Amino acid sequence: MHIPDNYLSPQTCGVMAAAMVPVWAVSINKIKKDMPKAKIPMMGVAAAFSFLAMMFNVPIPGGTTGHAVGGSLIAILLGPYAACLSVSVALLLQALIFGDGGILAFGANCFNMAFVLPFVGYAVYKLIAGGHQKDTREYVGAGIGSYLGINAAALCAAIEFGIQPMLFRDAAGNALYCPYGLNVSIPAMMIGHLTVFGLAEVVFTVAILAFVRKAAPELSVSTAESKSSNPLKVLLAVLIVATPVGLLAAGTAWGEWGADEIAATGVGYTPKGMVHGFDYSALLPDYSFSGLPEWFGYILSAVIGVALLIIIFRLIGYAAGGRSKTSHA
Amino acid sequence: MRLNLKVMELTGRLLKNDRENAGRKPSPVAPALRVGAAVLCILLCAISQNAVYVITVIAVELLRLALMPPERILRVLKALILPVIFTALIMLPAVFFGHPRTMLTVTMKVCESVLVLAVMNESLDWREVTEAFSVTKGMAVFVLILDMTMRFLMILGDYSDKLLEAVMLRSVGKTNWKNAKVDGILGTTFLKSRQMAEATSEAMACRCFDGQYRSYHRHRFTWQDVLFLGVYAAMIALFVMTK
Amino acid sequence: MIQLEHIDYDYQEIPALRDITYSFEMGNCYCLEGPNGCGKSTLFRILNGLAFPTGGRYLLDGEAITEKRLRDDAFAKVFHAKIGYVFQNSEVQLFCKNVEDEIAFGLFQLGLPEDEIRERVEKYIRLLKLEPLRKRTPYNLSGGEKKRVALGAVLAMDPPILMLDEPLSGLDEDGQQWITDFIASLKSTGKLIIISTHNRELAERLADVHVRMDKDHRIICP
């Protein structure tokens, strides 16, 4: 669901970014006030889970792929504000280092995946599960919440795509940015997310939630532990090593084509905004290296992403004053 | 802000480090192997012509860094900043000449070298590092010099700190670097260091020093050391594969 | 045993010792007393072979100790192994990375077998209550702890002669009490112990013989 650069007009990007600024501000305030300082490093771990979830591409018939996001999971464990910040930082890392998601489109991507997704997911979860924990009602609530969350996010993305051709055309009538209108973008995005990708999100959310409740309680804001335990580390390690599975799904996700691919997808021309648009070459584009097998590049990217996320949030926690005497790995 | 705060901070940090590390379990793998691995790693990265090797090493070190407590992470990052920025600036002309990859590669190699050493420094006690050099026969003198240097740093650091404090207490008005008679303090510290050196050599003679300098705690080779040799193998294998 | 015959010592033409003639016998505890500047520390340095008299002779077990003789490394080693010297300022004589190494240092130099070294180090760590300080750096410890480590390092070599220069300096009351008791316990081991001190109580408690020196750098009372 990552929107690349040049698919949304700079105006759209600007509006979405402006919309996110108050969201971020409120989230940061809420975290400062309400989050126990020792739990802030856990936000890094949660961000790492989200980052990894987004590397597991799932294919659907028709040739496109998608992925789970995990935003609802973080919202359930650490609160929706924490989820907003964690997913935002993960998306930032993906955009800057791996070229996954545009730089200018960062605001829009955050709006969809770091704001709409976790908050919708959390609201639905709370409605269904109430204060329950560790029982079926919680897992049902988590499942339904995450499903609705990711679909709400997909809908927002579809709308952001779809209004581009209506609003931004050149003199010849060709779209400057995303060339597919709402009548194409909504079904294209929703079909995948209502079925397979939504399922992936549900499975990811419920499975990890069950794991955390049983074996790794420190990842939740409702418990007091803050040292990351061995089961958690093992799970992260397993997920990192398993990331090459995400390579099996060949094909590009809908709306994530490169400028050279888009003409072939049916529209027949390459919109001008993409030809002359903002160009950013990331360090490890598409999580790969030239000269080495893809799976190696994938695992390496996973390692770098997870390590950086954990480091960033540990430092934030430290700066916020969470200097605990027993701060260990 | 007290003038001698910086000196106190340094000596305080060394003391705290000493207290903390006294309780820490010794490294399960022989320190010599770990120092050797770090050196080999830096060497291979320097020779490597492929950015992949360097990035792999950086990724592994970042993971090790992520497992450390935040104070240590901050120290490593502080050690990293200046060299990386300096290198990037120096290599900037490469970008203008049309070779951006060169700049990136060299900067990454510098980043990797500093990172490997800094992470090793944080995960090993300085005593284990100097002990690592005593593996080869004939290096006893070298290790002795290293240890003596650390000792004089700590003792004389403390001494000059006290001198500085005495100067501040006797001064009227604000003390800053200009009027704190730093030259006098340094001179006195130097004289004291000479005295101490003579006294130390006498003390060593009184205990029959004949050139031997060994550690009481001898590291016994365990399965963990054998396993660690696998790291050497992996590094070399990766290097060969990415040539 | 130690014999001093008409020892003179001048430090850059300033007299430090004048006509010192004395014998120290094994099994006794001697307390060297006197005002500051009378030459106690200088005498200690001569006894330890760190300085050499400008006149007179110093005999240890019948052998003359001279600068020339001590240039022979083998002889110097045997000589120093016989005398254990605890400096006034312990910091000076602590130079190893941790307490264990410090105590084992002399033993390695003596060339003892590994198990013997291990046994002695463990014994003196227990005896001087240094167990919690094993891995600490000796020169970073507190005054009393440093003194104990220095004692341990010296005693582990099992020297027949023990010399202590102002053993109570820099210690608090508890520390002083502890050291005094400890030295008292050493008296029964048959060693020759020479202590230099200002402390009357220590001298009263421990000395078999009081050796007093005066401002003229002479021994006035055997």
A15 min Cα distance to partner chain B (Å): 34
Q: What residues of chain A lie within 8 A of the CB of B55, using their CB? A: 284, 289, 300, 304
B127 and B221 together in one domain: yes
Q: Give the range of the structural domain holding residue B110, as residue numbers without chain letter.
A: 30-135+217-241
pLDDT at B1: 44
> What's the pLDDT at B14?
75
Q: Are residues B148 and B126 in the same domain?
A: no
Q: Is C190 exposed, middle or buried (0-12, 13-18, 19+ CB in 10 A)?
A: exposed
Domains, chain C: 2-221 (3.40.50.300)
> B174 and B123 in one domain?
no
Look at residue B152 and tell me if it is in a domain.
Answer: yes
Same domain, B104 and B123: yes
Task: From chain B, pick out residues whose CB is under 8 angstroms from the CB of A313.
Answer: none
Residue B59, pLDDT > 90, answer: yes
Q: Does A18 touch chain B (CB under 8 A)?
A: no
Smallest CA–CA distance, residue B202 to chain C, in Å, is 7
pTM of the shown model: 0.81
Residue A168 has pLDDT above 90, yes or no: no
Is B128 in the same domain as B157? no
The answer to whether residues B154 and B124 belong to one domain is: no
pLDDT of residue A246: 80
Residue B127 and residue C97: Cβ atoms within 8 Å? yes
Q: Whole-number mean pLDDT of chain A?
A: 85
The C-alpha of C177 sits at a distance from chain B's nearest C-alpha, in angstroms, of 26
Q: Which residues of A touch B19 (CB under 8 A)?
A: none
Look at residue A4 and tell me if it is in a domain.
Answer: no
Residue B176 covered by a domain: yes
Instruction: Verify A-B touch: 3 or more CB pairs within 8 A.
Output: yes
Of the residues B25, B48, B49, B52, the best mutation for testing chain A's interface (the one with the most A CB atoms within 10 Å of its CB) is: B52
Model confidence at A329, in pLDDT bands (50, 70, 90)?
Answer: very low
What ipTM is given for this predicted complex? Answer: 0.88
Judge whether B120 lies within some domain. yes
B130 and B35 in a common domain: yes
Point out the residue among C137, C140, C157 whose CB comes nearest to the CB of B207: C157
Query: Which element (helix H / strand E) includes C20?
Result: strand C14-24
Structural domains in chain A (count): 1
Listed by number, the residues of chain C in 60-99 with a beta carbon closer than 8 Å to a beta carbon of chain B are 73, 76-77, 80-81, 83-85, 87, 89, 91-93, 95-98
Of the listed ranges A87-91, A209-213, B162-166, C40-44, the one predicted with least confidence: B162-166
A311–B65 C-beta distance less than 8 A: yes
Asked if residue B102 and residue B159 are part of one domain, the reply reads no
Is residue B151, in this structure, part of any structural domain at all?
A: yes
Residue type, B224: Q
Does residue B178 share a domain with residue B78? no
pLDDT-wise least confident of A316-325, B88-97, C32-41: A316-325
Q: What is the mean pLDDT of residues A55-76?
A: 83
CB B239 within 8 A of CB B52: no
Question: From A322, which residue of chain B is nearest by alpha-carbon distance?
Answer: B70
The length of chain C in residues reads: 222
Co-location of B147 and B129 in the same domain = no
SS3 track for chain B: CCCCHHHHHHHHHHHHHHHHHHHCCCCCCCHHHHHHHHHHHHHHHHHCCCHHHHHHHHHHHHHHHHCCCHHHHHHHHHHHHHHHHHHHHHHHHHHHCCCHHHHHHHHHHHHHHHHHHHHHHHHCCHHHHHHHHHHCCCCHHHHHHHHHHHHHHHHHHHHHHHHHHHHHHHCCCCCCCCCCCHHHHHHHHHHHHHHHHHHHHHHHHHCCCCCCCCCCCCCCCCHHHHHHHHHHHHHHHHHHHCC
Do chain B and chain C touch with ≥3 beta carbon pairs under 8 Å? Answer: yes
A75 domain residue, yes or no: yes
Smallest Cβ–Cβ distance between C87 and the set B15, B155, B203 belongs to: B203
Q: What is the CATH number of the domain that holds A220?
A: 1.10.1760.20
Q: How many structural domains compose chain B?
A: 2
Residues of C with Cβ-Cβ distance to B147 under 8 angstroms: 95-97
Residues from chain B that touch C133, judged by Cβ atoms under 8 A, are: 22
**Nearest chain B residue (CA) to A229:** B67
Co-location of B74 and B150 in the same domain: no
Structural domain span for residue A208:
10-319
Q: Residue A216: exposed, middle, or buried by beta-carbon count in 10 A (0-12, 13-18, 19+)?
A: buried
If asked whether residues B146 and B119 sit together in one domain, one would say no
